Amino acid sequence: NRLSLSGCPPPRKFDHHRQRQPSLSSEFREYGFDAFYCQPGIAGAHEKGGVEGEVGWFRRNRLSPMPVAECLGELNDRIREWEAWDDRRRINDRIRTIGQDFTDEQPFLAPLPGEVFDPGLVLTPRVDRSSMITVRMVKYSVPARLIGRRVRVSLRASEVVVFDGRAVAARHQRIVAKNGQSVQLDHYLEVLKAKPGALPGSTALARARESGAFTSAHEAFWAASRRVNGDADGTRELIDVLLLHRSMDPGDIQAGIAAALGVGAVGADVVAVEARRHASNIPAGGPGSDSHPGAHVEVNVQRVVSLTQRRLMDPAAVIAGLPPDTRPMPSISAYDELLAKRTHTEGTVSKENIS
């Protein structure tokens, strides 16, 4: 370009066309936007209409002082609430609210696309033998079943989403620092169940403890399960409990663990039963009870109780309403007699064969 006598490039005539990034162009095509670029500064102030004024109003009334949030998702939830409030707001002295005006205008707008637009950068890394993918020099874990395969990754501003076909296989908060790692314990549960001895020293368990996903309730269940079932089988019971998080609410599982520990039945099946009972929220009078508020209802809820505690008349068994078990302990003396007769008979046969 030629320079003017003052050393600055000559002023370029303004036009309303710009060279857009491919991702922005694809978003415009997805939603049917017709882009119109305004002049910057005061020269183009008249081209923006009331957009700049409304943006300024929102900034002054909603974003001042600057809001503090744990993550971008929390901030987005707040903005959605503020937008709902704005639907009930009236601009100046208008009779109708913003939401009412939009309801009248909406039929004249083009329909939204059937699928949600993905604003991320699409990548296809390969899953290594450690069930990790590398995205921009950062490692993220994925389910172990994807080892050796290429997966589709959507690299977004604040998160990394991994797809297995059209289903979401993993979701991580994006890490900016190079050579970082984001590991989730859930991605390795099937492997750890086959090798339970690897769980105590695994990186996935350490990260789960740091993030709070592996709670004190899980620790207590694991310790009790290992005392009763041994290290290997006790760890497998814990892994079965962790697998319940894929289909059940964490709060229900916490309640199930507490109930199982309360009766001394440290098994994943007991935790699942109690968690489903907590999720169903059965009233105190049982299903279908018609008790009105304030009425006294007798608590008659059956609970899972271990047979050992029932035999020993543990207080938990009494609370559950189980009668005392007065039957004698089983004996295997009769089987010992059969074993002795079998040994004697085998010895006699062998002597006859020798003779």
SS3 of residue 27 by DSSP: helix
Q: What is the pLDDT of residues 179-238, one digit of tens each?
A: 899 999 999 999 999 999 999 999 999 999 999 999 999 999 999 999 999 999 999 999
Domain boundaries, given as residue ranges, for the chain: 22-107, 121-182, 189-285+299-304
The larger pLDDT score, comparing residue 12 to residue 269, is at 269
Residue 159 CA to residue 171 CA, distance in Å, equals: 7
Please give the structure tokens belonging to residue 346.
Answer: 């085998």
The larger pLDDT score, comparing residue 56 to residue 296, is at 56
Residue 334 CA to residue 338 CA, distance in Å, equals: 7
The larger pLDDT score, comparing residue 56 to residue 313, is at 56
Residue 201 CA to residue 203 CA, distance in Å, equals: 7
Helical spans, DSSP H, in the chain: 22-31, 51-62, 72-87, 98-105, 189-194, 203-211, 216-229, 231-243, 250-263, 268-280, 307-311, 315-319, 333-354
Torsion of CA 198, 203, 205, 211, to 10 degrees: 180
Rounded to the nearest angstrom, the gap between the alpha carbon of residue 32 and the centroid of all alpha carbons in its chain is 33
Mean local confidence (pLDDT), 51-70: 87
Q: Hey, which residues does 138 pair with through a beta bridge? A: 135
Q: What is the pLDDT of residues 290-348, one digit of tens each?
A: 444 444 333 344 555 555 544 444 444 444 455 666 777 777 777 777 776 555 555 55
pTM: 0.65
Q: What is the pLDDT of residues 107-156, one digit of tens each?
A: 998 888 888 888 889 999 999 999 999 999 999 999 999 999 999 999 99
Q: Give the dihedral sign, CA 277/279/281/282.
A: negative
Q: What pLDDT score does 254 carry? A: 93
Q: What pLDDT score does 18 carry? A: 75
The larger pLDDT score, comparing residue 319 to residue 275, is at 275
What are the distances in angstroms from CA 160 to CA 138, 188, 233, 258?
11, 19, 35, 34
